[in-house]
Structure formats: C-alpha cells, structure tokens
C-alpha cells in the first residue's frame, strides 16, 4: 500500500461546537505526526458534524505542513460550483497544493424539508445531475467563466477565470461513486475515484460487497485508461477499521457494541436500490490485515482512507489512529511519511 489516510465526520456537541472542531483539528495534526498521507472530512448539513469542510481544511492547512486534506464527499446539490471553485482554489493556495476535493451529486437528502431555504426561487429548476461536477471541474481547470477580462477604470482588473487559479487542483478532484455506471463515468471524465463502505450492485450482480466493489474499481480503471492512457486514475477505498492493539478493556467493549449494532445492515441489500454496507473491521491489526488481504476490493487499490467511527471520543480516535499508523499500516506494506 502506497498511501494511508483517514476520514472523520468531525462530530461536536451543539452546546459547545468549538470543542468538537478543535478536536478534529488536533486529530489532523496527530495524523501528520504519525505519518499519514491524507486526512479527509465528511460533509454534514443540518447535523452535528462538519458543515463547512472547506473552512476546516483552511484552518488545518495552517496547523500542518505536509498532510493532504480532502472532502469525502461534498454533495454538490448544496453548492454553487463557481463559488465552491473559488473557495477550494483559495484553500489549495493557502495549503501549498494539498487539497483533494471529493464530490458527489444527486438531490439533497430530505430536499422537501429544506428546498425553500436552500433554493427559495429555483428549487424546481435546479439540475442535480453530474453536469454540476463537470462545471466544477472546468472552473478548477481554469476554463473561462465569461468573456470579460482586463483592466477597467483606474485600478479595477478582472479575470475571465476563477481566481486564484491553483495549478494541479483539477487533477486532484475525486468523485464518490457507488455504482458501476458512476465509477465508469468518473474514469471517463478524468476524475479520481472514492469508493466507500456503501455501494450499489447492478441488477443480477452477486450481492458480495468485496466482489462488487472490485468490479466497480476495475470498470473505473478501464474507462480512465480509455479516456487518457497515461492518467494517474487514483482510487481510494474507505472502509471502517477499528484496531484494538492498544485499546483498554473499556474501549474494546465499546467498540464491540458499536460494530454489533451496525452489523445487521450488512447481511443483505437494503432499500429499493439494493444498497450494500461493508462490515466494520474490528480486531487486532494482524486480524484486520488478514481480512483486508482477503478483501477483493482492497486488493484492487494501493491507497485507502480508513473511516473513523462516528460517535467515539477524542481519546478513542487517538488510540485507533496510532494503532493504524504504527501497527496496521506496516502490515499492509505502508511506511509513514516524514516531513
């Protein structure tokens, strides 16, 4: 494995949100100290998790020097691609080119309850298709937004593209795909692929999570190679792993309860689209490594962003990240990065 990252939801207490955000920043700092290659932020709207990962990445960029910072994922149904491109480019410049924007599309969850606030005048006209991703990609690549540019008046000077322009940011744009068709679409359009612990099998496909995920990754790579034979076509897998090597007895019991509570949803496809959930991987680093090497999806990738459990405490995340970096990562062939 070449690159090791982690993903956090950044939970906070609504009565003291500053403490939760500070905890997230400290976890990212710890990740850099431990040699992780990347830290990724989930996006949560109208919940008690990170609602503005771009702002959090900006803060983290000033407290770290090396670790890459990403979103997994930003739902573009909530975003204006032009304004998002400006924010991402600004933070990428501030970070020295370390931002990895991950995005997805679709109608915002529970749209009927909030469309009056999100799009008060255009709620029925908004396009939530993949065209939003293409628009964002074009803006990040420096494509013209308008014809107007140049100096006007005494001091005002205008650009026809998003400013600041950050070279290389477009190449670090990721798409969160959960189906075969969306994975292939990402490859065809020159995006990187985020494959998580939630996927959708095609009709008639054997409902084995690892096999379905591996097939989606291969479809992505085939499409990416056809689009641009020399492209990097990066893929990151995001399973939940909870090593217990240095955990206390109390932590082990809490982790077991968490995994058991979530396990029933993994037994069969869920909902009308047959949504599939990967089981959380709990155990010693040696046990988790053996499960990963047997996982068809994991064998297709050389970088991961292991997801931290949603509802744990700061000290739990410290223990889990430390065990991942010092025990599990080396068992998977990874070496920590230095400054």
Model confidence over 146-164: pLDDT tens digits?
Answer: 999 999 988 899 999 999 9
Beta strands in the chain (DSSP E): 3-8, 38-41, 68-71, 74-75, 99-100, 102-104, 150-152, 156-158, 174-176, 192-195, 198-199, 235-237, 241-243, 276-277, 281-283, 303-307
Note the helical H segments in 157-208.
180-188
Percent of the chain with pLDDT over 90: 94
As a whole number, mean pLDDT of residues 128-142 equals: 98
Residue 195 is predicted with a pLDDT of 98
CA distance 278 to 212: 11
> Mean pLDDT, to the nearest integer, of 213-235?
94
Domains and CATH numbers, the chain: 3-149+157-331 (3.20.20.30)
Confidence of residue 232 (pLDDT cuts 50, 70, 90): confident
Residue 339's pLDDT is what? 54
Q: Taking residues 54-64, what's their average pLDDT?
A: 98
Q: What's the pLDDT band for 204 if we cut at 50, 70, 90?
A: confident
Distance of CA 59 to the CA centre of its chain: 18
More confident residue, 212 or 206: 212
What was the pLDDT predicted at 230?
84
Across the range 67-79, mean pLDDT stands at: 98
Q: What is the pLDDT of residues 272-313, one digit of tens each?
A: 999 999 999 999 999 999 999 999 999 999 999 999 999 999
Task: Give the confidence band of 205 by pLDDT, cuts at 50, 70, 90.
Answer: confident
Q: For 253-274, how does the pLDDT look when each residue is reduced to its tens digit (9 = 90+)?
A: 999 999 999 999 999 999 999 9
Query: pLDDT tier at 337 (50, 70, 90 boundaries)?
Result: confident
Q: What is the pLDDT of residue 130?
A: 98
Residue 82's nearest CA partner among 42, 140, 167, 41 is: 140
pTM above 0.75, yes or no: yes
| Mean pLDDT, rounded, of the chain | 97
Share of the chain above pLDDT 70, in %: 99
């Amino acid at each position: 494995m070449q690159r090791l990252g982690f993903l956090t939801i950044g939970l906070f207490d609504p009565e003291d949100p500053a403490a939760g955000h500070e905890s997230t920043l400290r976890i990212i700092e710890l990740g850099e100290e431990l040699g992780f290659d990347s830290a990724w932020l989930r996006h949560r709207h109208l919940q008690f998790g990170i609602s503005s990962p771009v702002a959090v990445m900006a803060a983290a960029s000033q407290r770290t020097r090396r670790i890459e910072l990403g979103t997994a994922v930003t739902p573009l149904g909530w975003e204006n691609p032009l304004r998002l491109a400006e924010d991402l480019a600004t933070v990428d410049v501030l970070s020295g080119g370390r931002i990895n924007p991950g995005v997805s599309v679709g109608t915002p969850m529970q749209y009927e309850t909030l469309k009056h606030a999100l799009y008060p005048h255009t709620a029925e006209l908004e396009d939530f298709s993949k065209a939003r991703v293409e628009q964002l990609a074009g803006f990040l690549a420096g494509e013209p937004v308008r014809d107007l540019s140049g100096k006007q008046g005494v001091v005002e000077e205008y650009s026809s593209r998003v400013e600041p322009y950050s070279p290389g940011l477009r190449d670090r744009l990721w798409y969160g795909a959960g189906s075969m068709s969306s994975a292939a679409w990402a490859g065809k359009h020159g995006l990187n692929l985020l494959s998580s612990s939630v996927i959708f099998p095609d009709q008639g496909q054997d409902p084995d999570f690892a096999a379905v995920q591996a097939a989606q990754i291969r479809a992505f790579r085939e499409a990416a190679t056809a689009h641009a034979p020399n492209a990097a076509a990066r893929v990151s897998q995001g399973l939940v792993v909870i090593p217990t090597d240095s955990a206390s007895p109390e932590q082990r019991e809490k982790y077991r309860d968490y995994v058991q509570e979530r396990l029933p949803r993994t037994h069969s496809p869920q909902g009308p689209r047959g949504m599939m959930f990967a089981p959380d991987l709990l155990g010693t680093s040696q046990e988790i490594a053996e499960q990963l090497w047997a996982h068809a999806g994991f064998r297709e990738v050389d970088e991961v962003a292991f997801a931290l459990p949603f509802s744990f405490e700061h000290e739990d995340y410290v223990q889990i990240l430390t065990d991942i970096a010092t025990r599990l990562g080396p068992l998977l062939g990874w070496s920590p990065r230095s400054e």
